Amino acid sequence: MPYLSPALNVMVAAARKAGRPLIRDFNELEHLQVSMKGPADFVSSADQRTEKILIEELVKARPGYSVFAEETGAHEGTDKTHRFIIDPIDGTTNFLHGVPHFCISIALEREGTLVSGVVYNPVTDDMYVAEKGHGAYLNDKRLRVAARKELPQSLIATGIPFMGRGPDSERKRSLKEVEAVVSRTSGIRRFGSAALDCAFVAAGRFDGYWERGLNAWDIAAGVLLVREAGGLVTDLNGGSDVLKGDILCTNEALHPQLLKLIRDAGK
């Protein structure tokens, strides 16, 4: 059984409560009110309601904790040492197209260090949890990153900037990186949810994952999952400040190989 601290129990309960109406919305997509937040960047009534439920549940259980959420930004609490980082639906485009690959992502920072993480896909009822120093789990199963040591046998995930996200130069660089990686591995997947990509690395389903231009809420919980599953997470310069947006996560054997391949592709 996974170790669940009181705070992680609160996070799991909040994710499950917010997930129930999300399943109903997913099954009634034609009735969903959808507005445009930007080209190919959708925000839905489901997104907004999910975030509202999460914040209400988390703050009720942990009054004073700060919150940093995708839709409503920063909510400063009286407790400056703790912060929840929330993505109500990571994989919104999948959700809005009826693709059952999206999740609720919640992380907890204590004094700037990630200590608890939840990634929950309500459609599949897959609950990924991690607690600093206590491992990562999918439901009741302990997770470990894959043990492959060579790129030709590896399956790698990524994200590619879509319409309206970033300049053309960023997209061209991403495509160069994809071309380099696909030529040296057994395949690339682009599934559309950064949090679940990280969770799949933690579970050993993907051997690695990289992406540029993300937000902290996209990956905070996933970063902790990978680390607690024995993986290595850095930015694309090999540094540790991954919540600023660029990420590479894999096992220790593949990490230097994949990092060099990606960096060389961008030159």
- Complete domains list, the chain, with CATH: 6-142 (3.30.540.10), 151-265 (3.40.190.80)
* Region of 188 on the Ramachandran plot (φ > 0 left; ψ -120 to 50 alpha; else beta): beta
CA distance 202 to 135: 10
On whether the CB atoms of residues 80 and 99 are closer than 8 A, the answer is no
Ranges of H-type helices in 129-249: 168-182, 194-202, 216-228
- The answer to whether 70 is annotated as binding is yes
CA distance 205 to 115: 23
- The answer to whether 111 is annotated as binding is no
On whether the CB atoms of residues 102 and 193 are closer than 8 A, the answer is yes
- The answer to whether 219 is annotated as binding is no
Angle at the Cα of 91 from the Cα atoms of 126 and 258, rounded to 5 degrees: 85
What is the pLDDT, as a whole number, of residue 1?
66
- The answer to whether 246 is annotated as binding is no
- The answer to whether 125 is annotated as binding is no
What is the pLDDT, as a whole number, of residue 166?
63
What is the pLDDT, as a whole number, of residue 172?
86
Among 64, 93, 60, which residue's Cα sits nearest to residue 76? 64
The beta-strand segments (E) located in the chain are 34-38, 41-44, 65-69, 73-75, 79-90, 103-110, 113-121, 126-131, 135-138, 141-142, 155-158, 187-189, 208-211, 232-234, 247-250
Q: What is the mean pLDDT of each run of 10 residues along the chain (267 residues)?
A: 89 98 88 67 84 98 97 94 98 91 98 98 98 96 97 96 68 90 96 98 98 96 98 95 94 97 88
